[in-house]
């Protein structure tokens, strides 16, 4: 009954349109009332939820990503990817440029929505002008942006770490996301080549040597951000928090003094938008912490484990069921609250079946990322349709091959743990 009151309150609040953070807080209060603990305990947990030093990672990486995404970095990364692909003159070359540019920007922005907006605004018109169907270009941009949820500095990897109570290293999650993210990008490139030869998409155009050198040098300034984030963490020079702070300083320097595409008078607007994003995320984390506390008191994780054990004791069957559950959750609830709600419930279940918490983090991020590409709550889908100037109906009729590729990658990541765990195990020893 205690669990029912907690979940029913949360669901009712969702259905009446209450903001998710407040819905979580109301559920925690209802749950505390039902089990007879003082409401002060809930307030203390809300406060404790945002009092961790690791929280600094979120504003640093959100700000660095916003500066680089809006300061001309996307256009330069597209040009650099065009240089890399152009000399092959492969059929469908611009679609490969789209994926590569998104891969590069993902390692800087950490946000799938930012990647969809930044890369889509450059690549979708360019691909249509070259002869690609606009819906194909939009679908590719939407699904390629899921890489940002996996590769460092993924904001959602930080959220997952915080949802575990800080017991999972952010650096380990960053390293774990490298190969799954690259696997997704590579798989999408293979799909692009198959579709390009089937539908006779135009070939890529080579870039003259002098222009290629200039483009490469221009893009290199921004690419240093990748070196700062990955190299600093891998080399033990920075913690994840320090890497975020240094990335902010470097992003500001490159955008305002090297590229000089961004106007100083627009900077306060960007900072205000970043502060709003960070405030919303931190409010979610604070309220979700109180819900996690009530869930622990009601022994919900143990009861969920017993429920799954009653279905099967086979780890691989349970993993498949968890995947289905997360895919459905990802289509119905936005990613941040999904992570904060589901992690305290499902992580103990997975650990009971011997699944590494870092590995489960990658499974969760990829599942929920696929949900962002599907209605009714698909944030990436909606942004992609707005940028691509196409309807959701047009996109949904043609997106199924891209879903198939993402599901294939999900199965590989789920059932081959070394795809996620090899790099953190060998680098962060």
With cut-offs at 50, 70 and 90, classify the pLDDT of residue 140. Answer: very high
Q: How many domains does the chain have?
A: 1
Q: Is the pLDDT of residue 88 over 70?
A: no
Per DSSP, the three-state class of 91 is: strand
Residue 99 C-alpha from the chain's centroid: 16
Work out the pLDDT band at 358, boundaries 50, 70, 90.
very high
End-to-end CA distance of the chain: 45
Average pLDDT across the chain, whole number: 84
Write the pLDDT tens digit of every residue in 40-65: 888 888 787 777 777 777 788 888 87
Higher pLDDT, 317 or 242: 317
Find the range with the poorest average confidence among 73-82, 319-328, 356-365. 73-82
Tell me which residue range forms the domain holding 395: 1-428
CA torsion angle for 373, 375, 377, 383 (degrees, to 10)?
50
Distance, CA of 177 to CA of 230 (rounded, Å): 12
When mean pLDDT is compared over 15-24, 46-55, 278-287, 381-390, the highest value belongs to 381-390
**Nearest by Cα to 76 from 228, 217, 253:** 217
Strand ranges (DSSP E) for 142-273? none
3-state secondary structure of 372: coil
| pLDDT value, residue 264 | 84
304 pLDDT more than 90: no
Length of the chain: 429
Quick one: what percent of the chain has pLDDT higher than 70? Answer: 98
Task: Give the predicted TM-score (pTM) of the model.
Answer: 0.84
- Helical H runs in 254-378? 267-297, 300-311, 315-332, 335-352, 357-371
**Residue 31: CB partners within 8 Å, gap ≥ 6?**
2, 5, 6, 9, 291, 294, 295, 297, 298
The arithmetic mean of pLDDT across residues 190-212, rounded, is 83
- Judge whether residue 176 has pLDDT over 80: yes
Rounded-to-integer distance, Cα 147 and Cα 122, Å: 18
Give the CA count within 13 Å in the CB-facing half-sphere of 413.
29
Can you tell me the distance from the alpha carbon of 287 to that of 290, in angstroms, rounded to the nearest whole number?
A: 5
Mind listing the pLDDT tens digit for each residue in 321-347? 999 988 888 887 778 888 888 888 888
For the residues 377-384, what does the mean pLDDT come to? Answer: 83
Give the pLDDT confidence score for residue 237 in this predicted structure: 77
Which residues are within 8 A (CB) of 77 and not within 5 positions of it... i.e. 6 or more apart? 101, 104, 105, 119, 219, 222
Asked if pLDDT for residue 185 goes beyond 90, the answer is yes
Res 408 pLDDT > 80: yes
On the question of pLDDT at 90 being above 70, the answer is yes
The CA distance from 216 to 223, in Å, is 10
Number of Cβ atoms within 10 Å of the Cβ of 226: 17
How far is 133 from 140, CA to CA, in rounded Å?
Answer: 11
For residue 87, pLDDT over 70 is answered with no
The conformational region for residue 165 under phi > 0 = left, psi -120 to 50 = alpha, else beta, is: left
Q: For residue 231, what are the contacts with CB-CB under 8 A and spacing of at least 6?
A: 237
pLDDT tens per residue, range 280-297:
878 887 887 787 778 778
Cβ atoms of 152 and 174 closer than 8 Å? yes
pLDDT in tens, 219-233: 888 778 777 777 777
Report residue 412's pLDDT band, with 50, 70 and 90 as the boundaries.
very high
The candidate with the shortest Cα–Cα distance to 59, out of 222, 229, 248, 234, is 248
Contact yes or no for 53/317 (Cβ under 8 A):
no
Q: Of the given ranges (7-11, 86-90, 95-99, 148-152), which has the lowest mean pLDDT?
A: 86-90
Identify the pLDDT of residue 126: 85
**For residue 139, what pLDDT band results from cuts at 50, 70 and 90?**
very high
C-alpha distances out from residue 230 to 94, 169, 174, 225, Å:
27, 15, 9, 9
The closest of 123, 117, 191 to 148, measured between CA atoms, is 117
Q: Where is mean pLDDT largest: 47-51, 153-157, 393-397, 408-412?
A: 408-412
pLDDT at 394 over 80: yes
Give the CA distances from residue 221 to residues 218, 252, 277, in Å, rounded to whole numbers and listed in that order.
6, 12, 26
Asked whether residue 373 carries a pLDDT value surpassing 80, the answer given is: yes
Tell me: cis bond preceding 330? Omega within 30 of 0 counts. no
Contacts of 194 (CB under 8 A, 6+ apart): none
Dist CA 50 CA 55 (whole Å) = 7
Residue 429 pLDDT: 66
């Amino acid at each position: 009954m205690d669990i029912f009151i907690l979940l029913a309150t949360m669901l009712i609040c969702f259905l009446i349109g209450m903001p998710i953070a407040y819905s979580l807080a109301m559920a925690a209060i209802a749950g505390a009332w039902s089990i007879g603990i003082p409401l002060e305990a809930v307030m203390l947990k809300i406060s404790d939820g945002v009092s961790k030093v690791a929280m600094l990672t979120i504003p640093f990486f959100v700000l660095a990503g916003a500066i680089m995404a809006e300061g001309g970095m996307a256009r330069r990364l597209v040009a650099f990817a065009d240089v890399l692909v152009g000399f092959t003159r492969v059929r469908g070359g611009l679609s490969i440029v789209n994926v590569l540019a998104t891969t590069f920007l993902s390692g800087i922005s950490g946000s799938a929505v930012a990647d969809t907006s930044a890369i889509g605004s450059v690549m979708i018109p360019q691909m249509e002008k070259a002869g690609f169907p606009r819906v194909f270009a939009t679908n590719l941009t939407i699904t390629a942006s899921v890489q940002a949820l996996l590769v460092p500095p993924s904001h959602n990897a930080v959220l997952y770490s915080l949802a575990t109570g800080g017991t999972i290293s952010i650096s380990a999650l960053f390293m774990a996301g490298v190969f799954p993210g690259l696997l997704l990008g590579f798989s999408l490139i293979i799909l692009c080549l198959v579709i390009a030869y089937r539908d006779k998409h135009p070939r890529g155009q080579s870039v003259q040597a002098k222009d290629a050198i200039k483009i490469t040098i221009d893009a290199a300034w921004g690419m240093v951000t990748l070196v700062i984030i990955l190299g600093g963490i891998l080399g033990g020079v920075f913690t994840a928090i320090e890497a975020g702070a240094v990335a902010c300083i470097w992003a500001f320097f490159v955008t305002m003094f090297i590229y000089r595409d961004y106007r100083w008078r627009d900077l306060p607007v960007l900072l205000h938008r970043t502060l709003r994003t960070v405030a919303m995320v931190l409010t979610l984390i604070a309220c979700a912490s109180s819900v996690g506390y009530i869930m622990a008191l009601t022994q919900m994780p143990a009861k969920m484990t017993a429920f799954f054990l009653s279905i099967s004791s086979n780890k691989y069957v349970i993993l498949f069921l968890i995947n289905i559950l997360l895919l459905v959750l990802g289509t119905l609830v936005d990613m941040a609250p999904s992570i904060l709600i589901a992690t305290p419930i499902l992580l103990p279940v997975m650990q009971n079946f011997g699944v590494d918490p870092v590995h489960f983090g990658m499974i969760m991020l990829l599942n929920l990322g696929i949900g962002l590409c599907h209605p009714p709550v698909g944030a990436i889908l909606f942004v992609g349709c707005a940028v691509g100037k196409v309807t959701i109906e047009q996109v949904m009729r043609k997106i199924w091959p891209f879903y198939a590729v993402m599901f294939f990658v999900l199965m590989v990541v789920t059932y081959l743990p070394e795809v996620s765990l090899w790099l953190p195990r060998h680098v962060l020893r």
